[in-house]
Amino acid sequence: MHRIVRVLYLVSLICAALVLGLTLNHVLQAPGSRALSGPEWLTVQHTFYGGFAVVGGIAEVVGLIATVALTITSLKGHTIAGTAAPVIAALCFLGTLLVYWFGNRPINALVAIWSPATLPSDWSWYRNSWETAHAISACLGTVAFLALAIALLWRRTPSEGSARCSAQDDPNMA
């Protein structure tokens, strides 16, 4: 069971890092995006962001599944405090999915069918909403990543729980 928990932590942490990295990338690009004209912005949207939703979506879904599984396995033999990090991370992954479905996805669907000739006059409102949704997801990704990383750093291993430590308990001692 200990190895399963470690694998779940690793998968959850990798997914949180991917979500954080992808969404933070959007946040860091926002000042440059705001300097573009409507047609330039639309060209960027049509050209550069195809893989973000695929990788990010997979990371959010797998991260949610892994952290829910981690929460369930952590409940066995641990205190409520010991399950706080996976619960926080799971809620953050759920939040990023909700922000995508209700924030980014509807805007992505509109932008995909726009052309420079059909770009609405209020296009900057959509750009700002799209960027705000990514900023919210970046905050949620940060919290998920930090919760999992801190929990991993402070997590006690079975060998730390006893006075004796053997090579069987600690693979680094072998």
pLDDT digits (tens, 9 = 90+) for 65-82: 999 999 988 777 666 656
Structure confidence at residue 81 (pLDDT): 59
pLDDT tens-digit readout, 22-37: 999 999 999 999 999 9
pLDDT tens-digit readout, 111-154: 999 999 999 999 999 999 999 999 999 999 999 999 999 988 87
Angle at 15 between CA 13 and CA 18, to 5 degrees: 110
DSSP character string of 91-128:
HHHHHHHHHIIIIIHHHHHHHHH--TTT--TTHHHHHH
pLDDT tens-digit readout, 80-100: 656 889 999 999 999 999 999
DSSP character string of 141-152:
HHHHHHHHHHHH
Angle separating helix axes 123-154 and 2-34, nearest 10 degrees: 150
Structure confidence at residue 174 (pLDDT): 39
Question: Is residue 163 predicted with pLDDT exceeding 50?
Answer: no
**pTM for this prediction:** 0.84
Residue extents of the structural domains in the chain: 2-157
Question: Is residue 170 predicted with pLDDT exceeding 70?
Answer: no
Q: Are 159 and 170 in contact (CB under 8 A)?
A: yes
Question: Is residue 158 predicted with pLDDT exceeding 70?
Answer: no
